[in-house]
A and B are shown apart, each in its own frame.
Chain A
Amino acid sequence: MAQSTVLGAAGHMALVALVALGAACSPKQVNRIDPATVTDLSGRWNDTDSRLVANELIRQSLDGGWVRRYSDAHGGTAPTVIVGDFTNKTYEHIPVGTFVNDLERAFTTSGAVQVVAGAAERGDVRAERADQQQNASASTRTRMANEHGANYMLQGEIQAIEDSEGKEKVVFYQVDAQLVDLESNAKVWMGQHKIKKYILRKRLGL
């Protein structure tokens, strides 16, 4: 009887030791990888889609003749763009800021287009400028009512169409962007990029 109790306790201890060993050797692994690497896990919108959209909109907008037309008409001055509403009309959570910021960065880096702070950003800037009028010395104070007016507003939207049957799913994303002349409402440039994904979910053991 006593021998069987001792054997039972040893079995329990062995089991606990096995569980502990299993936990210590858990398969979780974290690696830093190149942000340009394509990593499709769930099939939903991801960083690669954002990058592809940004690349295509950058190419289309900078290759479009609107920059040249504006510069020619204004003695070489670069046009100024403000970012307006970029609407996500899909049911997915899509952070549009990633590719919109890429587009803004490309405009600024290229030197072909000037970008001014949009409605979401300028609140802080204006508050700081107003604060300076009270608290900064006259020689370092920034001037009020001297903002650079934009010529064009960048607007856009992203839409998605889904189709699925069994283990298969197709998702189609369409991103449309446009630059609208703030004075005349004329659309001077329209860009578009489409992504179609085919997702096949393989069941384990099948």
Chain B
Amino acid sequence: MSSPMMTRAAALLALAAVACTQQHLDPQPVTILRTGDRAPSADSTVAAARDRTAPAQARELYARDSIMAAAMMGCAPDVCSAVTRGEVTLGMSETQLMAATRTTPAAWSIRRAGDAAIYTSARMEQTPRDMVAPVALVQVQKGEVAAIAYAEPTGVRTVARAADATADAQARATAQALVREGDMLVAAGDLDAALARYDRASILLPNDPTLEYRIATVLDKQLRPIEAIVRYQRFLHQMELERIQAVGDAYAKQAEAIAHAKERIIVLEKH
């Protein structure tokens, strides 16, 4: 091979090598911290947050305390007691509503129409709450709380009468929600889950014969005769057959259930 040819080949090889050489990174323009530099401190950030937050929180706390003082002045003994316990009750004033929930107007979105007002949470994720549950909505009529809607795990529970606000009423509402869930599960064919809901409801409603009948029927369907018999018997006992003598229209449904329960007891006992 002649010398010029070799020179050209060498030049081409060198060119190819240069083309294949790995491109080195040059981090120089984007380097943030090098050895020997000082890392910044967060102290100024914390101090700024403290200066920003502390006055706002103090203002809100002062407003809350003022509302509490105003709410407790001249209130009826049962309302005063409810405010102190932190429970919203019917008949409270708007100030007492805020005092009972330990909130200020900043927590509420208030819509007024004439002498009525609707209180809802100012922010979806921060629902004001009393000692019972998160308060989804409060209806105020002529300056007094007329209805309260609680956001409970089983759904929204409304308190519009004094009787609705008792612990028994709350238990009944929760049990009814559980029974509704159980009925839906029965319809969907999930008998185990339905039975779990009915069992939980039966603790809250210990003497409800219709609930006992539902449990008996589910156990019967699940081919658990011994437990079903006990439940059918409990249902009959609770109905107090001698006293009710269920033959009238008002008891037609129970009469049918009673007849079915008796029939199933006979059938199951024979097996």
A39, A55, A75, A186: the one within 8 Å of B61 (CB) = A75
- Which of A52, A72, A188: most chain B CB closer than 10 A? A72
Which of B22, B40, B48, B60 interacts with A165 by CB under 8 Å? B22
Of A51, A69, A72, A75, most buried by chain B (CB within 10 Å of CB) is: A75
User: B138 → chain A, closest Cβ, in Å?
Assistant: 15
A85 within 8 A of B: no
Q: Decide if A39 touches B35 in the complex (CB within 8 Å).
A: yes
Chain B neighbourhood of A71, CB < 8 A: 53, 56-57, 60
Chain B neighbourhood of A68, CB < 8 A: 53, 56
Q: Do B57 and A73 touch (CB < 8 A)?
A: no
Complex formed: what's the CA distance from A184 to B123 in Å?
14
Q: Which residue of B lies closest to A187 (CB)?
A: B125
Which bucket holds chain A's interface residue count? 35 or more
Flag whether B245 is at the interface (Cβ < 8 A): no
Determine the interface band of chain B, counting residues with CB < 8 A from chain A: 35 or more
Whether the pair A75, B125 counts as a contact (CB closer than 8 A) is no
Chain A residues with CB under 8 Å of B53's CB are: 62, 67-68, 71, 78, 110-112
Of the residues A51, A75, A106, contact of B103 by C-beta under 8 Å: A75
B106 touches A110 (CB 8 A): no
Q: Quick check: A76 and B35 within 8 Å, CB to CB?
A: no
Q: Closest CB-CB distance, A36 to chain B, in whole Å?
A: 5
Contacts of B37 in A (CB 8 A): 37-38
Across the interface, do A52 and B35 meet the contact criterion of CB distance under 8 Å?
no
- Interface status of B257 (Cβ within 8 A of chain A): no
Name the distance in Å between A163's Cβ and chain B's nearest Cβ: 11
Q: A134 interface residue, CB < 8 Å from B?
A: no
Q: What residues of chain B have their CB less than 8 Å away from a CB belonging to chain A?
A: 22, 24-25, 27, 33-42, 45-50, 53-54, 56-64, 102-104, 106-107, 121-123, 125-128
Listed by A's residue number, 7 A-B pairs whose Cβ atoms lie within 8 Å are: A38-B33, A62-B49, A71-B53, A76-B63, A78-B57, A170-B25, A198-B25
State the 4 A-B residue pairs at the shortest beta-carbon distance, nearest first: A76-B60, A73-B126, A75-B64, A62-B49
Instruction: Give the B-binding residues of A (Cβ under 8 A).
Output: 34, 36-40, 48, 51-52, 54-55, 58-59, 62-63, 67-78, 102, 106, 109-112, 165-166, 168, 170, 181, 184, 186, 188, 198
